[in-house]
Amino acid sequence: MRELPKEFDILALEKRWQSKWEETGIYHFDRKDRKTPTFIVDTPPPYPSGDFHMGNLLNWTYFDILARFKRMNGFNVYFPQGWDCHGLGIEVQVEKENGINKREMPPDKFRQLCEKLVEKYIAIMKEGIVRLGCSNDWTTEYRTMDPDYWRRTQLSFILLYKKGFIYQGTHPVNWCPRCETAIADAEVNYEQHDGTLYYLKFPFENSDEYLPIATTRPELIPACVAVAVHPEDARFIKYKGKRLKVPETSRTVPVILDETVDPSFGTGAVMICTYGDKADVKTVIRHKLPVIIVLTENGRINQNGGKYVGLTSLEAKKAIVADLSKDGLLEKTEKIKQEIGVCDRCDTAVEILQLQQWFMKTRELTNRVEEAANKVVWYPDYMKVRLIDWAHSLDWDWVISRQRVFGTPIPIWYCKKCNETILAEEDWVPIDPKTEKPRITRCPKCGSSEFAPELDVFDTWMDSSISCAVHAGWPDSKDWKRLFPADVHPSGIDIIRTWAYYLMVRHLALFNEVPYKRCLINGMVLGGDGRKMSKSLKNYVATPEVLDKYGADAARQWAAGGGTTGSDIPFRWPDVEYGWRFLIKLWNASRFVSNLLKDFDVDDSSERVLQLLDRWILSKVERLTGKVTDAIEKCQFNLAMEELRNFTWRTFCDCYLEAVKDRLYNPNVYGHEKRKAAQYTLYVVLERVLKLFAPVIPHVTEEIFQIMYADEKNPRSIHVSPWPMMDEKRLDDEAEKQGDLVMAIITEVRREKAEKHLPLNTKISKLTIYANKKATTEMISQGKEDIAGTCKVADIQVLLEKGEGREIKLHDVRFAAEY
């Protein structure tokens, strides 16, 4: 066996293996292989943000461990990698970086700028994935912004349209006035803001009386369609049905009773405006109230706002408050904390507008989503409730159109004469209606030949939510169902409501099938201070900083071992450093073993007599194999890590290696057959540890494996070598019990030397061990040689008596050493 060098450079060897793996293509999925069972990872195509952050690192470590584990378990693993390119984030960034407004330049030019930025971001993130040592199959790389991918998005839209899942409608939508686009519920974040509560007087019609109402949004007074009070609020029920004059307008509105009004908020009477918030939308539907939209798409007051037309909502607020004050209708103001919805991409306060949009009927699938979520295996199990609750919480269908440039075009035209909708045929896609005409000569309804393109594009989630089918080869491969559903869909806890949900509704609607069998959830990465890691909180750690300092295998240990799957995991430098120190420990131990095995031939089993401690650790490593296999199978990566690191560091390095050194160095004293037994044990245990660790620390295990274990007879990489199986026949309870006792004695003797500040190789002239039970003395006698050798004892005695001396806890054994 070859010896490991003393010096090793973790960063350099990681880089070397990354290129070698890519060169040799060991992670490629073999699509032609129809015999080997497949394991399909529905890798979420990330949204290129230009930052492979610690959250990504956690995410990718999880599913790379699983992919590697399955590959070693003999699966033909499909681990694709795509990029979910389109979206508002990129548009906003392009506008910022170039100081432009997308509305003021040709769309194709703007699109080019977006593509350029996306490529730049992809390169950065790809480097992060490669540096982390992930076993993706890069031959599968795809980009949702490529027309070949649009083709799939557009085709899925056409099919859903034909199945009756798509409609166009005027409907309240979340609207970002800065981005000027509709956004999905999932893209609205709720934040606490400081606001002002205005106490106003609404005069009754034909009366001198007035009703006090409180609002945070006086600028929406022109959109007020009712005033609501709680049906049991004794102060106000008498006013039910009475009409109030809406200040600064010429309209009157009714007082209505509504259970959702909180009598303790403000005055207990509130304006219902179309629309102040989502609660208003529901109230308007419940009471069949009219809709008055006063905001334009860029957040200004429109003609429905009367004299305030043209003002921004902030200007309008000031103007209206000034007018109310002048008219004696403003009673007082009060500072409050309020929760407002803001745009996920630009943090602008979201408005609710009523606009013509394309929708997918998702709410009618809610019960089926629940049913499917219950069929999927979730890691951890409690995460499925998040998906189910989210599906039930949705108030309206999925708005799939966006008023943007950088997105997949909606394959629709309208007849200019009769406004008939022309849907692209399945074989027209990919197609951009803005640059191509429909492939018909006349409108089927009126015969006109003039068509106008749909200018909207799809919501980004329309691209990425068909990934399970696309990865399987839909629509081009005839037997794509062979690779469907995906075996695992990994997702961050924060995107269950988007990725896991949209995948589910899309595939249910399109194929009537559940798209993934398992869902693996990772939590968020917290800063060292326990708060969510974020640049603004100054607790942010950039991934390259971690990888540059300690390398991928150390960072992966942090990710795998940082906490239970699904929980939030704090980033702590000491954890990564511990991982790094562990690698050095593993290297040094392996190097030591490689030195002791120079003259060892594994195939020569003659004259090998296993000793107690050999049988002890061989049984323990079988048990470890069972535990680690079970833990990774259940995605309990931190449990696997804990077992592995404890075994390697404590049982293998601190105990076994120390205990057999003497035997290995002095064959003349112990006999060659005992030395060979120790060599054999070292060979087996280290190989096993390397294999069990390979999915978590792929680089260092590969390097050690290649030097020590790989030759013509063995596979070319540890990562395609077979996963070890626990051999129950090799479990030896008796040897484990005896060995534990012997190890406890050795450990305690060494501890005594340390406490006496004696070097560990200090000779002990006589060691007397006392035990109360005969069975115990027999057990100790079996390990006498190893105790004597390890602790440098000249004379060792085991006595069946109570005796005086240092106690070995848990074993009812004492010893006295004479130095």
Q: Among 311, 340, 346, 495, which residue interacts with Zn ion (rule: CB under 5 A)?
A: 346
To the nearest whole angstrom, how small is the minimum distance from the Cβ of residue 548 to Zn ion? 34
CB-nearer residue toward Zn ion: 322 or 418: 418
CB-nearer residue toward Zn ion: 363 or 416: 416
| 442 in contact with Zn ion (CB under 5 A) | no
Q: Among 34, 286, 445, 802, which residue interacts with Zn ion (rule: CB under 5 A)?
A: 445
Q: Among 134, 365, 405, 443, which residue interacts with Zn ion (rule: CB under 5 A)?
A: 443
Q: Among 13, 72, 113, 179, which residue interacts with Zn ion (rule: CB under 5 A)?
A: 179
- Binding part of the chain for Zn ion, among 16-24, 47-55, 339-347, 532-540 by CB under 5 A, reads 339-347
| Nearest residue to 682 via CA among 743, 744, 791, 594 | 594
142 CB-side CA count, 13 A: 20
**Binding marks (x or -) toward Zn ion, 130..169, rule CB under 5 A?**
----------------------------------------
To the nearest whole angstrom, how small is the minimum distance from the Cβ of residue 188 to Zn ion? 10
- Binding part of the chain for Zn ion, among 41-49, 397-405, 409-417, 524-532 by CB under 5 A, reads 409-417
762: CB partners within 8 A, 6+ apart: 753, 792, 819
To the nearest whole angstrom, how small is the minimum distance from the Cβ of residue 416 to Zn ion? 8
| Nearest residue to 502 via CA among 42, 37, 106, 15 | 42
Distance (Å, whole) CA 483 – CA 469: 8
Q: Among 223, 343, 694, 708, which residue interacts with Zn ion (rule: CB under 5 A)?
A: 343
Which residue has 């295990």 as its token pair?
701
Distance (Å, whole) CA 451 – CA 150: 22
Question: Token digits for 198?
Answer: 């205005």
Distance (Å, whole) CA 638 – CA 626: 15
CB-nearer residue toward Zn ion: 89 or 430: 89
| 176 in contact with Zn ion (CB under 5 A) | yes
- Binding part of the chain for Zn ion, among 233-241, 444-452, 463-471, 527-535 by CB under 5 A, reads 444-452
Q: Are strands 518-522 and 377-379 parallel, antiparallel or unpaired?
A: parallel
Find how far residue 367's CA is from the centre of its chain. Answer: 25
Question: Token digits for 153?
Answer: 């998005």
- Binding part of the chain for Zn ion, among 244-252, 292-300, 415-423, 721-729 by CB under 5 A, reads 415-423
User: Residue 458 pairs with which residues in a beta bridge?
Assistant: 401
To the nearest whole angstrom, how small is the minimum distance from the Cβ of residue 421 to Zn ion? 10
Distance (Å, whole) CA 474 – CA 510: 12
| 349 in contact with Zn ion (CB under 5 A) | no
Q: Among 178, 307, 363, 434, which residue interacts with Zn ion (rule: CB under 5 A)?
A: 178
Q: Is 557 helix (H, G, I), strand (E, B) or coil?
A: helix
Size of the site for Zn ion (CB under 5 A): 15
To the nearest whole angstrom, how small is the minimum distance from the Cβ of residue 448 to Zn ion? 5
Please, which of residues 261-280 interact with Zn ion by CB under 5 A? none
CB-nearer residue toward Zn ion: 27 or 175: 175
| 360 in contact with Zn ion (CB under 5 A) | no
- Binding part of the chain for Zn ion, among 218-226, 338-346, 624-632, 757-765 by CB under 5 A, reads 338-346
Q: Among 420, 642, 658, 673, which residue interacts with Zn ion (rule: CB under 5 A)?
A: 420
| 446 in contact with Zn ion (CB under 5 A) | yes
CB-nearer residue toward Zn ion: 66 or 179: 179
CB-nearer residue toward Zn ion: 58 or 184: 184
Query: Which residue type occupies 98?
Result: N
Distance (Å, whole) CA 397 – CA 366: 11
Number of DSSP helices (H) and strands (E) in the chain, helices first: 24, 29
To the nearest whole angstrom, how small is the minimum distance from the Cβ of residue 276 to Zn ion? 19
Distance (Å, whole) CA 395 – CA 386: 16
Q: Are strands 457-458 and 351-360 parallel, antiparallel or unpaired?
A: unpaired
To the nearest whole angstrom, how small is the minimum distance from the Cβ of residue 620 to Zn ion? 58
| 448 in contact with Zn ion (CB under 5 A) | yes
| 418 in contact with Zn ion (CB under 5 A) | yes
Distance (Å, whole) CA 404 – CA 402: 5
CB-nearer residue toward Zn ion: 179 or 253: 179
817: CB partners within 8 A, 6+ apart: 749, 752, 764, 766, 767, 768, 793, 806
- Binding part of the chain for Zn ion, among 113-121, 250-258, 318-326, 345-353 by CB under 5 A, reads 345-353
Q: Are strands 76-78 and 518-522 parallel, antiparallel or unpaired?
A: unpaired
| 90 in contact with Zn ion (CB under 5 A) | no
**Binding marks (x or -) toward Zn ion, 538..577, rule CB under 5 A?**
----------------------------------------
Question: Token digits for 799?
Answer: 């006595």
| 182 in contact with Zn ion (CB under 5 A) | no
| 422 in contact with Zn ion (CB under 5 A) | no
- Binding part of the chain for Zn ion, among 256-264, 420-428, 604-612, 790-798 by CB under 5 A, reads 420-428
CB-nearer residue toward Zn ion: 126 or 417: 417
Question: Token digits for 793?
Answer: 């004892």
CB-nearer residue toward Zn ion: 449 or 761: 449
**Binding marks (x or -) toward Zn ion, 643..682, rule CB under 5 A?**
----------------------------------------
Distance (Å, whole) CA 521 – CA 517: 13
Find how far residue 798's CA is from the centre of its chain. Answer: 57
| 415 in contact with Zn ion (CB under 5 A) | yes
Find how far residue 266's CA is from the centre of its chain. Answer: 41
23: left (phi over 0), alpha (psi -120 to 50) or beta: alpha
Residues in the chain: 819
CB-nearer residue toward Zn ion: 443 or 503: 443
| Count of beta carbons in the 10 Å neighbourhood of residue 311 | 17
| Nearest residue to 373 via CA among 186, 554, 501 | 501
| Count of beta carbons in the 10 Å neighbourhood of residue 695 | 28
462 CB-side CA count, 13 A: 31
284: CB partners within 8 A, 6+ apart: 225, 272, 274, 275, 291
To the nearest whole angstrom, how small is the minimum distance from the Cβ of residue 427 to Zn ion? 23
Give the residues lining the site for Zn ion (CB under 5 A).
Answer: 176, 178-179, 343, 345-346, 348, 415, 417-418, 420, 443, 445-446, 448
